[in-house]
């Protein structure tokens, strides 16, 4: 893998942080996918995880806490040629940004959302995140967590996502494969990455991951038809209610129209001339729009 | 040429076709060669509560409404009860004769307080409590009442049965109104055809109704008492004109200005703008070829709407969103991000009555200080406040250009008055589309935030070069930094745009003076209130006052030097605006050190009217310092 994927900015995560694994796997996936660097956009929220675009040598948009998805949606809808990938923490994407995560599933744009799931709010010093189990008390919490955990995979199915996978930050090869698959998928994807935060979360350790996860083996994630979709959803509920977390590709549904296709079915010119490809002036002058033809009902006489 | 100034009110229950009635009347008047300005008042309710259009027509340009009115056309009893006292001497009330026996005080949609106020008023007048008694009282007091059997006529002649009758009542009422004002049936039918140009079935129904109602008009009791006919005169031909609400004007302006991505989350009174854009998503040239097709995305909330628009702008697309107070609050963080990242994005903000959801469908000018201060920290932005429909259209184009020229968020500040009032405008003249500074290829490593002599750095779009953005402080490449020196230089680069904007803005974009040089009194105003002030000028002058109106258009960055010139020239400065504090007056105070003591204010949610400006000005001259206006229902 070429070091050329490093932006040169020093990654300022704590030693041992799972974000390093995600960073490494991401660079590997991007280089192996062979997409033109300028055509990639990493869009992130706020948190330790949100800093990742600065470290990778591709265009990066580090946005607001919880808002990476709408930024990414606007970018993708305007210029469908760009490969758009969202990164955020579990607090960012499942707490403050939850509404956008659901809305994205409903739209099914060609965007992969990578959830750095460390069970805590890292950058604000370890408060409970939406994926922390009820009653747990990490070392950074004064009292046990009084909220139940949300499961991003189940939320993803309910919201209409067409790609769902889970991986682990320090299983670089597995994570890289999931990233490649998710980035190549056409439609909305969630890749949940179990990410140790040694600084605040003493519950999700490497040891814990060993004991509490397993690789999916005889699971075919690809949805074939409507009936299969129902079966798969039920199967996934089964998978996800187990004690141990499944790692691997959980759902691939290529049948649903992407947001881009939906727009193109209404705006006929969209597929050939999306907003970013349209002119808005001729030699510095407004386009020759014929107002009476375009807006007949506003004219009188 | 006949000098005329016609004021009409058409009222009825929300959802009862009053909006269409108003549009039909406005269209007919405009097609008769008149200038029109129509206010639309409605509750935050879908069906049943009182709503009305106040329409003004004149052979000279009008920009406001005025009381008392010449005609009140009422579709229901509440409209009679609400507007009978708005009639001027000799004014005409029109309603269905089927309403005669109805009580004025048993009206379920009316709030208890209003019923009590009305009762006290009717008692004091000695007007009685049924429509019939009120009619008689009005006639004793010099008004004309036209009672017309609308429903009966529609049933008998057009052979419509309930509930279709209800769909026809509005046209019936409008027909009598226009006939009473002197318009011929032929002209009314032309307006019907034009209004329903795309709806053949509705067109035929409404033609039939107008015809049947018009037939019986001359036999109507009361018609003989109508004064000289005001409409249907020969008028000099006018060029092509457009009839638009403010929402339409902004939508058209944005499209001319190159908008290609509009995002929004529904809110009154902003949402219609996006709807109009969606309806005209294909921009056609004179050969009928599409020269552009902007997309509209309904977001999941306003936070998403602003962030999506910013995302679009990063790809080089002219992007905008529109909202009103509550939605604008949610956008504040995104606007700050756009400021920090020097993103050209346009936010159209239509003020309505706050705080919170306040008066959701009513007028207000109380978000000026909020919009100029929205977002935390300090950053350059432009806030332009349009005072008329023409300006709203032109400014929408301008906002697109300014955003790219200076790479800043631009807020186009309007109000419900402009959003929902309908008026005639001349078709816009197409001007420049400035895309701003672009990076030249092959100049080495691209620095999105290059610091040079000009605070505006050359732009590349996502997809073209390597670049980074962050809401954190950043270096020239866009990477996070907390280095104090870089921080200072980046801060200064961003803030330096304010000076540049002020220096380069033409005077006319900053403020406009209406009226004589050599004024003594200066009415300082903004937004739609400007129209009432300008319309009031001739009357004020006829009282011998040397008064002018100063409309402030650019409120951020604030053109303090330019405004000061006018203020220092005046002997008395009077603020006029639709809020409690006098926000523009305060802003002028902050920026110029000049304290405007006299203020005319209104915060009932209704427009400031021409007559109110005249009265209030007189009261200020009589020594009052703060005049609070209360007119209109
Ligand atoms: C609107 C807003 N609220 C709060 C914050 C403060 N904040 C910064 S990072 C963060 C939590 C990040 O946690 P998570 O998303 O899980 O990411 P991690 O740091 O764990 O990677 C919060 C709440 C903010 N930046 N913006
Ligand atoms: S706080 Fe946790 S998530 Fe953040 S950098 Fe340190 S280890 Fe990583």
Q: Could you give the ipTM of this predicted complex?
A: 0.98
Cα–Cα distance between A66 and A47 in angstroms, integer? 9
- The average pLDDT across A149-166 equals 98
Our mutation pick for probing the ligand 2 site, out of A11, A16, A19, A169, counting the most ligand atoms within 8 A of Cβ, is A19
In short, whether A46's Cβ falls inside 6 Å of ligand 1 is yes
pLDDT for B227: 66
Contact B425, B244 (CB under 8 A): yes
Give first-to-last CA distance, chain A, whole Å. 69
Q: Which two tokens stand for residue B158?
A: 């057009």
Q: Is the alpha carbon torsion for A24, A25, A29, A32 positive or negative? A: positive
Whether pLDDT at B475 is above 60: yes
Q: Which helix (H) or strand (E) holds B398?
A: helix B389-406
Angstrom CA distances, B304 to A49, B59, B263, stand at: 21, 46, 9
Does the pLDDT of residue B2 top 60, yes or no? no
Query: What is the Å distance from ligand 1's center to A51 Cα?
Result: 11
Taking the centre of ligand 2 as the mean of its atom positions, its distance from the CA of residue A85, in whole angstroms, is 21
- Pick the closest to residue B151 from B140, B141, B159 (CA basis): B159
CB A19 within 8 A of CB A50: no
Question: Is B242 close to A291, i.e. CB distance below 8 A?
Answer: yes
Give the number of other CB atoms < 10 A from CB of residue A144. 13
Q: Average pLDDT, stretch B254-280?
A: 97
Say what the pLDDT of residue A103 is: 98
Among B192-206, B351-365, B377-391, B459-473, which is the least confidently predicted range? B192-206
| Ligand 2 atom at minimum distance from A89 CA | 3
Residue in B401, B305, B396 with CA at minimum distance from that of residue B344: B401
| Strand order from edge to edge, sheet including B547-552 | B511-514, B547-552, B521-525, B572-577, B598-602, B626-629
Please list the residues that pair with B93 across neighbouring strands: B72, B145
Cis peptide before B269 (omega within 30 of 0): yes
CB contact under 8 A, B308 and A77: yes
| Residue closest to B251 by CA, chosen among B269, B277, B270, B272 | B277
* Alpha carbon of A94 to ligand 1 centroid (Å): 11
Mean pLDDT, rounded, for A265-285: 96
How far apart CA A121 and CA A134 sit, in angstroms, is: 16
Using a 6 Å cutoff on CB, does residue A198 contact ligand 2?
A: yes
Which pLDDT score is estimated for B226?
77
User: B450-457 — which CB contacts under 8 Å span 24+ positions?
Assistant: B450/B476, B451/B476, B451/B489, B451/B490, B451/B493, B454/B500, B455/B493, B455/B494, B455/B496, B455/B497, B455/B500, B456/B342, B456/B405, B456/B406, B456/B407, B456/B497, B456/B500, B457/B342, B457/B407, B457/B493
Distance to chain A for B74, nearest Cα, Å: 26
Identify which of A276, A244, A271 has the alpha carbon closest to the alpha carbon of residue A260.
Answer: A271
pLDDT confidence band for B229 (50 / 70 / 90): low
pLDDT of the residue at B155: 87
Nearest to A298 among B244, B286, B462 (CB): B244
- The predicted-structure confidence for B591-631, as pLDDT tens digits, reads as follows 999 999 999 999 999 999 999 999 999 999 999 999 999 99
Mean local confidence (pLDDT), B91-118: 93
Phi, psi torsion values for B451, nearest 5 degrees = -95, 120
The average pLDDT across A247-271 equals: 97
Please list every residue in chain B whose beta carbon sits closer than 8 Å to the beta carbon of residue A287.
258, 283, 285, 291-292, 433
Mean pLDDT, residues B433-445: 91
Comparing C-alpha atoms, which of B526, B576, B582 is closest to residue B556?
B526
How far apart are alpha carbons B149 and B452 in whole angstroms? 76
> Is the beta carbon of A124 within 6 A of some atom in ligand 1?
yes
Give the CA distances from residue B248 to residues A267, B243, B279, B283, in Å, rounded to whole numbers and listed in that order: 21, 9, 11, 15
Backbone CA torsion sign across B204, B205, B210, B213? positive
Tokens found for residue A144: 């046990």
Determine the average pLDDT of the residues in B386-405.
98
Render the burial of A190-219: b for 16+ CB within 10 Å, e for the rest.
Answer: bbbbbbbbebbbebbeeeebeeebeeeeee
For residue A41, the distance in angstroms to the closest alpha carbon of chain B comes to 8
Given a contact cutoff of 8 angstroms between Cβ atoms, the answer to whether A215 and A239 are in contact is no
**Torsion angles phi and psi, residue A218, rounded to 5:** -90, 50
| B164 backbone dihedrals φ, ψ, rounded to 5° | -60, -25
Residue B441 pLDDT class (50, 70, 90 cuts) = confident
Average pLDDT over residues A265-289: 96
- Protein residue with its CA nearest to atom 4 in ligand 1: A65
More confident residue, B285 or B168: B285
User: Rounded mean pLDDT of A247-254?
Assistant: 98
> For residue B151, what pLDDT is reported?
86
Q: Using pLDDT thresholds of 50, 70 and 90, give the confidence band for residue A3.
A: low
**Structural contact between residues B166 and B17, judged by C-beta atoms closer than 8 angstroms:** yes
Using CA coordinates, name the residue in chain A closest to B466: A59
B42-70 tens-digit pLDDT: 999 999 999 999 999 998 999 999 999 99
pLDDT over 60 (residue B412): yes
Subunit contact B462:A290, Cβ cutoff 8 A: no
Q: Which residues of A64-88 are buried (b: 16+ CB within 10 A; e: fewer)?
A: bbbbbbbbbbbbbbbbbebbbbbbb
C-alpha span between B594 and B585 (Å, rounded): 9
What separation in Å is there between the alpha carbon of A115 and the centre of ligand 1?
13
SS3 of B112-164: HHHHHHHHHHHHHHCCCCEHHHHHHHHHHCCCEEEEECHHHHHHHHHCCCCCH
B347 token code pair: 């936010």
Nearest chain A CA: its distance from B237 CA (Å): 10
Give the single-character DSSP code of B237. Answer: -
Read off the pLDDT of residues A172-224 as tens digits, 9 standing for 90 and up: 999 999 999 999 999 999 999 999 999 999 999 999 999 999 999 999 999 99
Q: How far apart are CA B309 and CA B297, in angstroms?
A: 9
Concatenated DSSP letters of B508-576: HHHEEEES-SS-SEEEEE-TTHHHHHHHHHHHHHHTT--EEEEEE-EEES--HHHHHHHHHH-SEEEEE
Question: Which class for B495: exposed (0-12), middle (13-18), buried (19 or more C-beta within 10 A)?
Answer: middle
Please choose, from the candidates B202, B207, B99, B101, the residue with its C-alpha nearest in 3D space to the C-alpha of residue B152.
B99
Average pLDDT over residues B405-410: 98
Among A121, A145, A196, name the best residue to mutate to test ligand 1's pocket (greatest count of ligand atoms within 8 A of Cβ): A121
C-alpha span between B249 and B420 (Å, rounded): 11
Q: How far is CA A113 from the centre of its chain?
A: 0
What is the predicted pLDDT for the residue at A1?
43
DSSP at A14? P
- Centre of ligand 2 to C-alpha A176, Å, is 21
* Section B439-448 average pLDDT: 90
- pLDDT of B1 reads 42
Residues on chain A touching B247 (C-beta within 8 angstroms)? none
Mean pLDDT of B12-27: 94
Q: Which residues neighbour B226 within 8 Å (Cβ) at sequence distance 6 or greater?
A: B92, B144, B180
Residues 6 or more apart whose CB falls under 8 angstroms from that of B305 comprise A70, B263, B264, B265, B299, B321, B323, B327, B331
Q: How far is CA A253 from CA A33, A163, A167, B253, in A?
A: 21, 6, 19, 42
The atom number, within ligand 2, closest to the CA of A49 reads 3
């Amino acid at each position: 893998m070429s070091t050329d994927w490093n932006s040169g900015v020093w990654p300022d995560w704590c030693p041992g942080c799972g974000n390093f694994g995600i960073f490494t796997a991401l660079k590997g996936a991007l280089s192996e996918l062979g997409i033109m660097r300028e055509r990639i956009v990493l869009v992130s929220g706020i948190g330790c995880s949100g800093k990742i675009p600065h470290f990778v040598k591709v265009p990066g948009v580090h946005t607001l806490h919880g808002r990476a998805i709408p930024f990414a949606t606007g970018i993708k809808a305007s210029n469908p040629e760009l490969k758009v990938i969202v990164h955020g923490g579990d607090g960012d994407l499942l707490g403050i940004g939850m509404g956008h995560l659901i809305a994205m599933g409903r739209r099914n744009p060609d965007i992969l959302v990578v959830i750095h799931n460390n069970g805590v709010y890292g950058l604000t010093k370890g408060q409970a995140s939406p994926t922390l189990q009820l009653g747990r008390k990490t070392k950074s919490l004064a009292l046990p967590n009084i909220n139940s955990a949300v499961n991003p995979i189940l939320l993803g199915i309910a919201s209409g996502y067409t790609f769902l996978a889970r991986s682990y930050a320090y299983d670089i090869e597995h994570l890289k494969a999931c990233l490649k698959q998710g980035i190549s998928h056409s439609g909305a994807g969630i890749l949940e990455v179990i990410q140790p935060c040694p600084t605040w979360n003493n519950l999700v350790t490497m040891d814990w991951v060993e004991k509490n996860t397993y690789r999916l083996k005889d699971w075919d994630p690809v949805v074939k038809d409507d009936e299969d979709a129902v079966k798969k959803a039920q199967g996934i509920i089964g998978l996800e209610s187990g004690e141990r977390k499944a790692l691997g590709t959980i759902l691939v549904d290529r049948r649903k129209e992407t947001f881009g296709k939906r727009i193109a079915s209404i705006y006929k010119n969209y597929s050939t001339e999306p907003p970013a490809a349209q002119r808005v002036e001729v030699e510095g002058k407004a386009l020759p729009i014929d107002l009476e033809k375009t807006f007949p009902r506003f004219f009188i006489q | 040429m006949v000098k005329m100034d016609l004021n009409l009110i058409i009222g009825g229950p929300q959802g009862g076709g009053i909006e269409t009635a108003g549009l039909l009347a406005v269209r007919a008047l405009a097609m008769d060669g008149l200038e029109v300005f129509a206010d639309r008042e409605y509750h935050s309710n879908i069906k049943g509560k009182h709503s009305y259009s106040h329409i003004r027509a004149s052979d000279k340009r009008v920009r406001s409404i005025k009381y008392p009115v010449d005609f009140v056309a009422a579709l229901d009893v509440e409209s009679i009860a609400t507007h009978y006292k708005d009639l001027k001497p000799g004014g005409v009330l029109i309603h269905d004769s089927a309403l005669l026996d109805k009580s004025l005080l048993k009206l379920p949609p009316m709030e208890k307080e209003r019923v009590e106020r009305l009762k006290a008023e009717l008692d004091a007048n000695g007007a009685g409590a049924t429509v019939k008694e009120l009619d008689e009282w009005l006639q004793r007091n010099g008004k004309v009442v036209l009672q017309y059997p609308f429903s009966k006529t529609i049933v008998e002649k057009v052979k419509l049965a309930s509930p279709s009758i209800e769909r026809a009542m509005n046209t019936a009422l409008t027909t009598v109104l226009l006939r009473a004002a002197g318009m011929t049936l032929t002209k009314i039918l032309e307006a019907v055809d034009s209004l329903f140009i795309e709806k053949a079935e509705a067109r035929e129904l409404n033609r039939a109704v107008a015809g049947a109602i018009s037939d019986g008009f001359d036999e109507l009791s009361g018609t003989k008492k109508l004064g000289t006919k005001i409409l249907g005169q020969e008028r000099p031909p006018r060029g092509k004109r457009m009839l638009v609400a403010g929402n339409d004007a902004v939508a058209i302006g944005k499209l001319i200005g190159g908008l290609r991505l509009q995002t929004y989350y529904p809110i009154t009174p902003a949402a219609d703008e996006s709807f109009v854009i969606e309806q005209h998503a294909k921009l056609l040239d004179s050969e009928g070829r599409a020269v552009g097709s902007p997309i509209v995305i309904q977001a999941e909330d306003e936070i998403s709407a602003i962030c999506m628009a910013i995302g679009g702008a990063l790809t080089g697309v002219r992007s905008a969103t529109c909202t009103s107070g509550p939605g604008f609050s949610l956008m504040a963080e995104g606007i700050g991000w756009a400021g920090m990242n020097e993103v050209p994005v346009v936010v159209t903000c239509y003020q309505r009555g706050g705080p919170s959801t306040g008066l959701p469908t009513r007028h207000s000018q109380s978000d000026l200080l909020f919009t100029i201060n929205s977002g935390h920290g300090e950053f350059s932005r432009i806030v332009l406040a349009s005072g008329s429909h023409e300006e709203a259209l032109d400014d929408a184009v301008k906002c697109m250009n300014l955003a790219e020229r200076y790479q800043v968020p631009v807020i186009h500040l309007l109000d419900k008055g402009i959003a929902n009032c309908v008026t005639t405008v001349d078709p816009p003249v197409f001007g420049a589309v400035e895309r701003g500074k672009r990076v030249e290829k092959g100049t080495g490593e691209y620095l999105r935030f290059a610091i040079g002599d000009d605070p505006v750095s050359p732009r590349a779009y996502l997809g073209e070069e390597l670049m980074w953005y962050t809401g954190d402080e950043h270096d020239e490449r866009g990477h996070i930094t907390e280095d104090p020196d870089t921080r200072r230089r980046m801060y200064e680069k961003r803030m330096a745009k304010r000076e540049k904007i002020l220096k380069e803005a033409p005077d006319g974009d900053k403020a406009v003076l209406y009226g004589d040089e050599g004024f003594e009194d200066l009415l300082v105003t903004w937004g739609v209130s400007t129209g009432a002030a300008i319309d009031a000028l001739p009357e004020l002058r006829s009282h011998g006052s040397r008064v002018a109106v100063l409309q402030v258009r650019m409120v951020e960055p604030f053109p303090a030097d330019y405004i000061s010139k006018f203020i220092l020239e005046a002997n008395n400065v009077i603020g006029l605006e639709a809020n409690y504090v006098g926000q523009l007056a305060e802003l002028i105070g902050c920026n110029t050190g000049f304290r405007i003591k006299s203020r005319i204010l209104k915060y009932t949610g209704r427009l400031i009217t021409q007559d109110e400006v005249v009265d209030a000005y007189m009261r200020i001259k009589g020594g009052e310092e703060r005049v609070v206006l209360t007119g209109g229902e």
